[in-house]
Amino acid sequence: MKQQLLNIQKLNTKYGKINRVTHFKYLGEILAPTGGEKIAQKTRLSKMKRAYGLTHNIYNKKCMSIHTKIRHYNTVFKPQALYASETLTILTKSDMENILKEERKIIRKILGPKRTEEGYRLHSRKTAQQKLLN
């Protein structure tokens, strides 16, 4: 019975015909009839990259404190990355790791390089997470 419903190409209503699509955008999220999340994952990552690209000049300013930058991150990036995440089905560990990896990249760019005796290096994962939680 379910297979017959999936083979219908058009749905006739009193307002007109509705075509069958492979995926569509609803309330900012991409939905697919099979429940696949690959396209939604890609758009979620591209939204995070686009948001950072729009605000990267703010994070490069030295006159703003790290606390202010992290507050901005929590109010701009986090809601965008977590929107509708309660309905998100992550099929593989790599899907979740890609989201976390992109988040860590942005946090490290916010924190800037860490000065050491040998020169500069990036913050470790642990220190980046601690700064974010404080």
Q: Is 27 domain-assigned?
A: no
Q: What is the DSSP letter of 59?
A: H
Structure tokens at 121: 């290096």
Q: Is 72 domain-assigned?
A: yes
Instruction: Determine phi and psi for 30, rounding to 5 degrees.
Output: -95, 125
Q: Where are the beta strands (DSSP E) in 71-118?
A: 114-115
Going by C-alpha positions, the residue among 35, 41, 12 that lies closest to residue 23 is 35
Give how many domains the chain has, as a whole number. 1
Query: Which residue segment(s) compose the domain that 100 sits in?
Result: 35-133
Instruction: Determine phi and psi for 104, rounding to 5 degrees.
Output: -65, -35
pLDDT at residue 3 tops 50? no
**The model scores a pTM over 0.95:** no
Q: Is 79 domain-assigned?
A: yes
pLDDT digits (tens, 9 = 90+) for 66-116: 888 888 888 888 887 777 666 666 667 777 788 888 888 888 888 887 778
Angle at 80 between CA 54 and CA 32, to 5 degrees: 115
Q: Is 5 domain-assigned?
A: no
Length of the chain: 134
pLDDT at residue 19 tops 80? yes
Q: Is 25 domain-assigned?
A: no
Identify the bridge partners of residue 16 per DSSP, sorted by sequence position.
13
Between residues 13 and 87, which one has the greater pLDDT? 13
pLDDT tier at 36, thresholds 50, 70, 90: low
pLDDT tier at 51, thresholds 50, 70, 90: confident
Tally of CB atoms within 10 A around 13 = 7
Q: What is the pLDDT of residue 1?
A: 42
Q: Is 12 domain-assigned?
A: no
Q: What is the DSSP letter of 66?
A: H
